[in-house]
C-alpha cells in the first residue's frame, strides 16, 4: 500500500533510499540542591561539559569536505562562538553559586531565558535562531548526563544512501550527513529559514520539513521516495511510481550539472533584454560563495550580525572594517548595504533592550523606526557605510519604511553625517545612492511617492507576503497560507514595479520569491529586471531567464494578477513555465 505524506520542501532534489529513524530524546533535566562544599565541583563539571561540547564541534568542523561551500563552516563556527558567550558560560555558573542548584538546572534556566527573548523577535529568520541555542544547550546537557550526543546517532559509513527521519536536526548533523553521503532528510519540525535547511540547500541535500509525527508512519529500513521541491514523501511505492521518480532523479542531476555553463554567459532573455542577477549576503564568509556564483554584485547585505550576541553596539571603526572588506572583495561590483533591521526585543545597547517589551514586536519599534529612535547608533552605522563607499561601489538601503516622514528623517541624518565627514576631511562617495525596502503593504501602495525621493526600490517579499496576508510563515499552524501567488501580493509587487518604471528608477527584489525558479518568468513578465537571491540559486534563475522570451509572457501575467482562486493561479503559472520554450 502506497503512503504519501506532505510537508514543506526546503531543499530541491529527488532521493530514493531506505529510512533510518533517529530518536533524539530530550535530556530529562531536574533541579536538585547541592551542598555549599560541592559548588565549585559542580562549576567544574559544567565547565568540563562546555569544553567537551567545544571539542566535539571542532571535530565535526574537521569533517567538512574541502569543496563544501564556505558558509558550511560558518554554521559550526556560530556554535563555537556561542560556547564562548558569557550568557551560556558565566551566567549558569553564577546561578550554581547563588542558588546552590545543579549544573543541568542552571543551564536549563538560562536556556529558557534566552529562548524567550528569541520567541519575541519579530523577524522570522532571526526567531529561528532559537534553534541554535537549543542545539548547543542540548549538546552540553547530554555530556552532563554522560549520553551520546545526537550527531553520533548517525553511524559513520553505515548509512550511505539512507534517508534520515527525525524530529529535528542540527546543522552539525547535516554536515555529518553530507560527509557520510546521506541521501536526504525529513523532519517533523523546522522552517525554510532555519540554519539546518539553509545548510541543506548549500550542500545540495534534498530535504523536507514539517511532516508532523512522520516517525509514527515510517518504519526503519522502509524504502522511501523524497521530492525536496514539492515536499512529498512516498512510502510503499509500486514499481511504476519508483521508476518514474528514478527518471526524475536522473533528469534533475543532469539539469544541475548543466548549469555550470551559464556562469560565464551574460544574463539576457531570448529577445535580448538584459537582466541583472545579484546575491544576498548575511555574513562576511558569504563573499567567496557569491564570487563563485556568477552574481553581478550584492543586492542585499544584512548588517544585523554585527549587533547580535554582544553587550554593546559595534563602534564605527569595526563597522568600517567589515564593510570595507566586503566591498573590496567584490572587485568594484555594487554592494547594497541595508541599515540594521533589528527589532524592539533585540539587545544591542550595553546589554539592555533598546525599547520596552511590546505585545507584538512585528508591529512595534523595529528596523527604520528603531534606527530613528536611536539616532546615535544609527549615525555610527551611516558614517561607517559612507566611509566604506570610498573603497568601492556602495548603496544604502533603509528597511521597513512606511511613511515619508521616516524617509525624510533618515535622509536628513545621512546628510548630517556627510557634513561631519566633510568637516573631518574624510573621503566618501558624495553621490552614494539610497533606496528603501518595499516590504509592507503601506510602502507598496505608496511606492510611487517614495520613488520620487530615492534612487532605487527593493521589494522584500518575505515580509511583504507575511504582512499582507497576516500570517507567520514559520508557524506550523498557519504557514500553509503563505502564498506568493495571492492576488493581493502580486498586485502590490506589480504596483511597485510600475512605480519604478514611471519614475525611471530601478526596482529589485531580494526576497525568497526572487530565488524561486517557479516565479522567474512571472516576475520577468511583471517587469522585474533586477533579482537578488541566495548565491546557490543564481545559475538556476539565469538559465530560465536566458531561455525566456518576454514577448510571450504579458498575456499570462495579466490573467494571473486577476485570479481569485489559488488553484487557477497555479494553472496559469504552470502554463507560463511549461509551455514557454526557446523560439516560441
Side by side, the strands of the sheet bearing 223-227 are 3-6, 232-235, 223-227, 14-21, 163-166, 184-187, 207-209, 8-11
Q: Of the residues 141, 195, 486, 534, which is catalytic?
A: 195
CA triplet 363, 490, 194: central angle to 5 degrees?
55
Phi, psi torsion values for 267, nearest 5 degrees: -95, 105
Q: Of the residues 162, 446, 510, 534, which is catalytic?
A: 510
Give the Cα separation of 522 and 560 in Å (integer): 9
Q: Is 434 left (phi over 0), alpha (psi -120 to 50) or beta?
A: beta
Beta bridge mates, 533 = 279
Question: Cα dihedral sign for 98, 101, 102, 106?
Answer: negative
Q: Is 502 a catalytic residue?
A: no
Three cell numbers, residue 583: 523560439
Phi, psi torsion values for 81, nearest 5 degrees: -65, -40
Three cell numbers, residue 95: 546561578
CA triplet 89, 342, 195: central angle to 5 degrees?
60
Q: Is 195 a catalytic residue?
A: yes
Helix (H) or strand (E) holding 411: helix 404-424
> Helix 91-99 vs helix 39-62: angle between axes, to the nearest 10 degrees?
160
Give the Cα separation of 404 and 410 in Å (integer): 10
Give the Cα separation of 58 and 70 in Å (integer): 16
CA atoms within 13 A on the CB side of 436: 31
Question: Cα dihedral sign for 359, 360, 363, 367?
Answer: positive
> Which residue's C-alpha cell is 545526537?
150
Positions marked catalytic = 195, 510
Amino acid at each position: 500500500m502506497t503512503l504519501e505524506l506532505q510537508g514543506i520542501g526546503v531543499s530541491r532534489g529527488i532521493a530514493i533510499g531506505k529510512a533510518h529513524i533517529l530518536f533524539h530524546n530530550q535530556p530529562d533535566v531536574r533541579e536538585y540542591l547541592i551542598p555549599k562544599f560541592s559548588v565549585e565541583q559542580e562549576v567544574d563539571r559544567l565547565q568540563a561539559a562546555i569544553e567537551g561540547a567545544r571539542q566535539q564541534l571542532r571535530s565535526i568542523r574537521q569533517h567538512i569536505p574541502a569543496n563544501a561551500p564556505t558558509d558550511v563552516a560558518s554554521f559550526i563556527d556560530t556554535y563555537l562562538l556561542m560556547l564562548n558567550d558569557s550568557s551560556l558560560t558565566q551566567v549558569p555558573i553564577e546561578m550554581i553559586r547563588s542558588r546552590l542548584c545543579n549544573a543541568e538546572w542552571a543551564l536549563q534556566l538560562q536556556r529558557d531565558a534566552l529562548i524567550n527573548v528569541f520567541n519575541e523577535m519579530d523577524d522570522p529568520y532571526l526567531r529561528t535562531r532559537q534553534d541554535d541555542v537549543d542545539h548547543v544547550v542540548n549538546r552540553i546537557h547530554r555530556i552532563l548526563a554522560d549520553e551520546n550526543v545526537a550527531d553520533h546517532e548517525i553511524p559513520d559509513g553505515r548509512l550511505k544512501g539512507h534517508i534520515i527521519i527525525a524530529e529535528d536536526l542540527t546543522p552539525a548533523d547535516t554536515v555529518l550527513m553530507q560527509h557520510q553521503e546521506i541521501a536526504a532528510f525529513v523532519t517533523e519540525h523546522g522552517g525554510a529559514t532555519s540554519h539546518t535547511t539553509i545548510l541543506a540547500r548549500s550542500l545540495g541535500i534534498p530535504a523536507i520539513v514539517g511532516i508532523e509525527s512522520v516517525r509514527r508512519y515510517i518504519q526503519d529500513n522502509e524504502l522511501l521516495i523524497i521530492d525536496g521541491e514539492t515536499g512529498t514523501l512516498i512510502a510503499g511505492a509500486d514499481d511504476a511510481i519508483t521508476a518514474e521518480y528514478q527518471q526524475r532523479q536522473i533528469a534533475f542531476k543532469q539539469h544541475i550539472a548543466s548549469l555550470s555553463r551559464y556562469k560565464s554567459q551574460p544574463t539576457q532573455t531570448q529577445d535580448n533584454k538584459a537582466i541583472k542577477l545579484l546575491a544576498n549576503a548575511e555574513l562576511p564568509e558569504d563573499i567567496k560563495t557569491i564570487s563563485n556564483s556568477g552574481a553581478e554584485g550584492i543586492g542585499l547585505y544584512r548588517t544585523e550580525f554585527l549587533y547580535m550576541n554582544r553587550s554593546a553596539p559595534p563602534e564605527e571603526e569595526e563597522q568600517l572594517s567589515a564593510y570595507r572588506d566586503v566591498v573590496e572583495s567584490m572587485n568594484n561590483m555594487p554592494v547594497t548595504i541595508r541599515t540594521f533591521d533589528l527589532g524592539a526585543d533585540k539587545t544591542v545597547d550595553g546589554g539592555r533592550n533598546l525599547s520596552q517589551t511590546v505585545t507584538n514586536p512585528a508591529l512595534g519599534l523595529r528596523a527604520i523606526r528603531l534606527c530613528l529612535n536611536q539616532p546615535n547608533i544609527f549615525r555610527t552605522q551611516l558614517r561607517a557605510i559612507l566611509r566604506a563607499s570610498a573603497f568601492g561601489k556602495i548603496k544604502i538601503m533603509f528597511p521597513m519604511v512606511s511613511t515619508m516622514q521616516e524617509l525624510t528623517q533618515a535622509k536628513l541624518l545621512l546628510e548630517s553625517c556627510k557634513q561631519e565627514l566633510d568637516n573631518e576631511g574624510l573621503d566618501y562617495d558624495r553621490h552614494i545612492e539610497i533606496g528603501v525596502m518595499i516590504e509592507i503593504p503601506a510602502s507598496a501602495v505608496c511606492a510611487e511617492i517614495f520613488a520620487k525621493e530615492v534612487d532605487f526600490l527593493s521589494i522584500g517579499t518575505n515580509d511583504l507576503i507575511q504582512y499582507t496576508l497576516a500570517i507567520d510563515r514559520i508557524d506550523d499552524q498557519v504557514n500553509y497560507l503563505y502564498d506568493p501567488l495571492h492576488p493581493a501580493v502580486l498586485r502590490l509587487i506589480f504596483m511597485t514595479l510600475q512605480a519604478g518604471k514611471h519614475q525611471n528608477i530601478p526596482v529589485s527584489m531580494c526576497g525568497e520569491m526572487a530565488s524561486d525558479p517557479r516565479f522567474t518568468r512571472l516576475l520577468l513578465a511583471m517587469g522585474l529586471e533586477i533579482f537578488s537571491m541566495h548565491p546557490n540559486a543564481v545559475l538556476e534563475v539565469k538559465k530560465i531567464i536566458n531561455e525566456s522570451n518576454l514577448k510571450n509572457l504579458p498575456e499570462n501575467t495579466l490573467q494571473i494578477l486577476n485570479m481569485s482562486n489559488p488553484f487557477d493561479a497555479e494553472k496559469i503559472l504552470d502554463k507560463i513555465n511549461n509551455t514557454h520554450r526557446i523560439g516560441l
